[in-house]
Amino acid sequence: MKWPIVQSAVLLLTVFGIHLSTGYETSKPFTFPDDDPYYPPAVPFANNPKAPPPIIITTITTPKIPAQPTPFAQVSPQVFSSVYDGCDGTKGCLGYPASCIQQRSCSALVTFAQKGQRSEFELWATKSTDNSFVAVGFSEDNKMGDDSVTECTMANGRVNVYMSQNDASKTNIRLPNPTEGLNVISTTFSDGNLYCKFERTSQFVLGGKKLDASQKFFLLLARGPASNDGIAYHGSEKTVSDRSLKLSETGAVGASKGTLVKLHGIFMVTAWMLAASCGLLLARYYKLTWVGQQIMGKDLWFVYHTILMMVTWTLTMIAFILIFSELGGWTSIPAKQNPHAVIGLITTLLAFIQPIMAYFRPHPDGPRRYIFNWAHWLVGKAAHVLGVVCIFLAVGLDKAAIPYWVTWLIVVYSVIYILSHIILTLSQCFMHAPWRPRPTTSMAMKDMLPPRESYQDSLNLAKNKEDAYGSQFRRVYLFFYVLLVTSFSIAVIATIAKAPWPKQ
């Protein structure tokens, strides 16, 4: 009985340790994960002597209209709500979170319209604080790098509009003359509403490349903290257009749904919270249940176990490939900051070798079978525990963009899993005891020992096509266990599918 208790204690301590050590709110300075494809992972500002030399932008059309810092004024809420007017056909609009334009509930919004040789923009962020920004970027792909950025910044009581650049190293640099080519029409900060309306020249040179507003761009929209020196990391509050578009287009622009990231999360949750947890339970406690019932010559429990673990293996491999495809390689987030990627890689490797080990397993009556049993058990349990830990760590990733309360769904799931091991182990100890009507030596973990009592006892029961004592209880318990685990897995999957969620 000591094995399930030790395993349960390790998993429970791991779960609560992660829960206490992760979260969105932190007093640490802002850091910049490099796997975020939209905006910079670090902000060396123009006055930082260690920053790379700025890339100079030269405008082709040169109506030099200086944009002076503008103090904010009080504006009625009706003025801000009118920003949505025209998003149905007279101007283009991109908002965060997804589908917020139709509901007029955006946390951040950019509108754009072509005005002759210039492009007119509006940037708006709700529930803003002092020293914050909302910005739009223009990219030739849907990832950050070599992008032109225009910021609406509130810093030290004044609202300003600046131009900056995301260079190829994912660094945002404010330009030496950040207002050249801009014509600021109005700016304001009122009741948490940060708003800027401005015009920008349609033609410019960025990093030696000639760009024109008539060509297609992906739009990047983000909000976050700022200072007089530049913008800081936006966290999860960002989006990108689902396609490249011209600034002359009108109507609401769809936001990228982050499909590959969502599929990665959904597949991993299905694999480790649902399929693996059920498959492991069957292999450990149900070998002498459904005795005599077979499919293609294999015991029923073994067929169920094999199907569930192959589902786990397949979904894990697909999810691993999807996230590498999305990131374009290995993430550069330091493992000390969030070891999700490292633990995920270990989990995938452990899962990969499990079916290979199973294929070369010795005969159940073989003298070295117990060695395989221990290795198969250890690798499987390690992969499952690390898989669940990885799901915990994903909650703290900005790219996942899911609410922190999902952690509690995973905590409850983990408690159910641990209690199930304890309950089924105790029931075996009680029901298979010598004083019971039908004692048996077959118990979980017995087949990990060289004498192989479990295998011999299984043969005796199979001859009589008789389930081990307590099978009815185990079947009923399995039904409710699968029901609960499926419910919590679906809840987590639905949360991932609905992402991105507004920052809490």
pLDDT band for 316, please (50, 70, 90 cuts): very high
Q: Select, from the ranges 83-87, 112-116, 226-230, 491-495, the one with the highest average predicted confidence (pLDDT).
A: 491-495
Burial of 365 (0-12, 13-18, 19+ CB in 10 A): exposed
Confidence band for 387, pLDDT divided at 50, 70 and 90: very high
Dihedral sign, CA of 175, 177, 178, 181? negative
- The CATH code belonging to domain 58-252 is 2.60.40.1210
Could you report the per-residue pLDDT of 365-377, keeping only the tens digit for each? Answer: 778 888 888 888 8
Q: What is the pLDDT of residue 26?
A: 37
* Ranges in the chain annotated CATH 2.60.40.1210: 58-252
- For residue 65, the model assigns a pLDDT of 43
C-alpha pair distances (Å), 333 with each of 31, 327, 340: 10, 12, 9
Calculate what percentage of the chain has a pLDDT beyond 90: 26
* DSSP codes, 33-88: -TT-SSS-SB---TT-TTSPPPPPPEESS--------EE-----HHHHHGGGTTTT
* Helices and strands (DSSP H and E) totals, the chain: 11, 19
Mean pLDDT calculated for residue range 83-93: 86
Q: Quick check: 99 pLDDT over 80?
A: no
Instruction: Look up the pTM and report it.
Output: 0.60
Residue 242 DSSP one-character state: S
What would the pLDDT profile of 23-72 be if each residue is shown by its tens digit? 434 334 334 444 444 334 444 434 444 444 444 444 444 444 444 444 44
pLDDT given for residue 10 in this prediction: 52
**Which fold does the domain 259-496 belong to in CATH?**
Four Helix Bundle (Hemerythrin (Met), subunit A) (1.20.120)
What average pLDDT does the segment 93-118 reach?
Answer: 85
Residue 300 and residue 293 in contact, taking contact as beta carbons nearer than 8 Å:
yes
- pLDDT at residue 15 is higher than 60: no
Across residues 479-488, what is the average pLDDT?
Answer: 96
CA distance 281 to 481: 10
Residues 168 and 143: beta-carbon distance below 8 Å: no
CA distance 423 to 474: 10
- Least reliable range by pLDDT among 49-53, 136-140, 155-159, 242-246: 49-53
Mean pLDDT, residues 66-87:
60
pLDDT-derived band at 78, boundaries 50, 70, 90: low
What's the mean per-residue pLDDT of the chain?
Answer: 77
Give the N- to C-terminal CA distance of the chain in Å, as an integer. 43
Mean per-residue pLDDT, 327-335: 74
What does the alpha-carbon distance between residue 237 and residue 192 come to, in Å, rounded to a whole number? 16
- What are the angstrom distances between the C-alpha of 327 and each of 25, 317, 468? 25, 16, 50
Greater pLDDT, 256 or 73: 256
Q: Where in the chain is the domain with CATH 1.20.120?
A: 259-496
Helix boundaries (H) for 91-246: 100-103
Greater pLDDT, 210 or 401: 401
Distance CA 317, CA 466 (A): 39
